[in-house]
Structure 1
Amino acid sequence: MVRTRGLMAAAGTLALASLALAACSSGNPLDTSSSAAGGSSSGSSVVVGSAAFPENEILAYVYADALNQNGIKATVKPNIGQRDAYIAALKDGSIDLVPEYTGNLLQYFDAKATAQSSDDVYNALKTAVPSGYGVLAKAEAQDADSYNVTKAFSDQYGVKSLDDLKKVTIPLKVAANPEFQTRPYGIPGLKSEYGVTATLVPISDGGGPNTVKALTGGDVQLADIYSTTPAIKSENLVTLSDPKNMILAQNVVPLISDKAATDKVKAVLEKVQAALTTDDLIQMNTKSSVDKESADQIAKEWLKSKSLF
């Protein structure tokens, strides 16, 4: 998900320009001044959205199930899409809350942010979130973008870190979501931070099975795969270290509209956040991708295992 950035002049300018358009003449992507939507939350119910990948959907159900168990009516609107899509849903009021990741969200709102550590990123994010919205407590759990190679590639070229890629003499192709072309930790970051030129092979499955297949099948040399993905272990992939901290801390955090953030809602969600670990995310993802359990079922099992309520 995201990192240091002295890199971000051109990419940041383009990203912020697109956000300005999405916000209808405002640089604030969550500005509601020109939105006619009345919002989904009337104080009696909460709509939880999710991005279009399994872990985020599971977290959305965790939040919604926890709220329902505490007498707060909550529903889930899953698989909305990538960040631009669910931020737009927050803006028009069709959702009230979405699970997010601190580093990527900070960079979305402030492309020039320089924070790197978990606490620094979170503190910067609290300031960067637009008026009318907020983030609740960050979890210990993290799920970050990570560059992965096959063990055969790592052994052949002696590659264990992103810095080692400079030694590779063949052209490099990276399988990742399309937005990797402009994200600071994507193709631009490889060049500006590590002096590595690579070509993007866009695959829109959030580091999922198609991305993994492109890597293990030899179509690409690198793949952006979320660090809690079970395939990293099952396929014996090598996650490259990031000595320059190009990829920021990525703690799970709820992004919520102020109108939905009642004291009771905040208390329930922050109890969930305090219990959520990175190992939990890996186990949830394994149940999803290997055991083929539904997101709602996995969420209920996790809440029961933690005896939170």
Structure 2
Amino acid sequence: MNLRRPLTLVAAGAALVLGLTACGGGGNPVAGGSSQAPAAGDTIRIGSADFTESQLLAQIYAQALQAKGVQVEVTPPIGSREVYYPALTDGSIDMVPEYTGTLLQYIKKDATETAPDAVYTALRSVVPAPLTVLDKAAAEDKDAVVVTQAFAQQNNLKSIADLAPLAANVTFGGPSEFQTRPDGIPGLKETYGLEFKGYTALDAGGPVTVKALADGQVQAADLFTTDPSIEANNFVVLEDPQNNFAAQNVVPLINSAKATDQVKQILNAVQAKLTTEGLLELNKTANAPDKPNLDTVAKNWLTQQGL
């Protein structure tokens, strides 16, 4: 996840311009709009969060649009939702791949919906102008409380609730924003009564978090359910019986002015092909030892899907 290869896609038939960018967990000048010239009026500027899956989805959306003649530009990874959402609202970017449940709770902090359709319906009703969401995909990538297999076996852990008696001696790890998000540390405290010994700010479900959990620097961590490192390290995803984490289906969040009928048709066709199993396979491919370019992974998937 630490190697970022942003891709700029211009009009159909134009050359693909590749650039290498090493990014950490911080923001990007595009978020403020002051360090980057505005895109042409008919160009869709697509941003992403600073983790592989988000960047890969941005590439998939961009290449699907470009293949149909739509002018697009993919910016370097921007950062967390707390950074890229303002970039959307001020017009610095036009679109990002999003996740229904966490986006709903970001906009409406007291949202209580957890089931996929209920979350999506609520989200559509609260997304403020000039933004809108397109079709949600079946593909879902949820936050999850994850522990090592040894820690789970030693403490007979199966669900998040089982952590309650241990929490006072557990250090939790995850992205800095997880400390304040409604379904993050505040939600785990309210839903399961978890009061952890401490919190270590790491990356967003990336290699830093994986290493910290594997090495015992933290005893529990926030990872994403489509992260192939969970299976690779024999980590255990604790069950969430109280639905602290709402459904998190993949959905494009886009400026309404750029969501023409053509754009909607193209992106909704992509959404119809995205499944949770497929997303996991995409992540495995993107995180393979040879670290393929994300634009290549996206192109191959689109070709396989006939898009």
Same fold (TM over 0.5): yes
Report the counterpart of residue 248 of structure 2 in structure 1: 250
Aligned residues: 271
What TM-score does the superposition give when structure 1 sets the normalisation length? 0.85
Report the counterpart of residue 270 of structure 2 in structure 1: 272
Report the counterpart of residue 51 of structure 2 in structure 1: 53
Residue 164 of structure 1, CA deviation: 0.7
Once residues 194 and 87 of structure 1 are traced to their aligned partners in structure 2, the CA distance between those partners, rounded to angstroms, is 29
What aligned pairs does 1:1-309 form with structure 2 within 5 A after superposition? Answer: 40=39, 42=41, 44-168=42-166, 171-198=169-196, 199-203=198-202, 205-291=203-289, 292-308=291-307
RMSD, aligned α-carbons: 1.6
Once residues 287 and 273 of structure 1 are traced to their aligned partners in structure 2, the CA distance between those partners, rounded to angstroms, is 19
3-state SS in 2 of match to 1:224: strand
Once residues 180 and 163 of structure 1 are traced to their aligned partners in structure 2, the CA distance between those partners, rounded to angstroms, is 18
Task: State the 4+ residue runs in structure 1 displaced beyond 3 angstroms.
Answer: 37-41
The aligned amino acid for 1:123 is T
Q: Deviations over 1:155-209 (max 9, x none)?
A: 0000110011123376111110011111222222222111121121101x21111
Once residues 204 and 306 of structure 2 are traced to their aligned partners in structure 1, the CA distance between those partners, rounded to angstroms, is 31
Once residues 252 and 41 of structure 1 are traced to their aligned partners in structure 2, the CA distance between those partners, rounded to angstroms, is 27
Residue 94 of structure 1, CA deviation: 2.1
Decide whether aligned partners of structure 1 residues 211 and 93 sit closer, same or farther in structure 2, where only a CA change above 3 A counts.
Answer: same
Flag structure 1 segments of 5+ consecutive residues without an equivalent: 1-34
The aligned amino acid for 2:134 is L
Once residues 100 and 151 of structure 1 are traced to their aligned partners in structure 2, the CA distance between those partners, rounded to angstroms, is 30
**Overall identity of the aligned pairs, in %:** 47
1:176/1:211 contact within 8 Å kept:
yes
Q: Deviations over 1:206-256 (max 9, x none)?
A: 111110111110111101001100000000000000000000000000000
2:46/2:93 contact within 8 Å kept:
yes
2:45/2:75 contact within 8 Å kept:
yes
Flag structure 2 segments of 5+ consecutive residues without an equivalent: 1-33
1:157/1:167 contact within 8 Å kept:
no
Decide whether aligned partners of structure 1 residues 50 and 91 sit closer, same or farther in structure 2, where only a CA change above 3 A counts.
Answer: same
Q: Deviations over 1:26-48 (max 9, x none)?
A: xxxxxxxxx9x996352x22111
**Structure of greater relative contact order (alpha carbons < 8 Å, 6+ residues apart):** 1
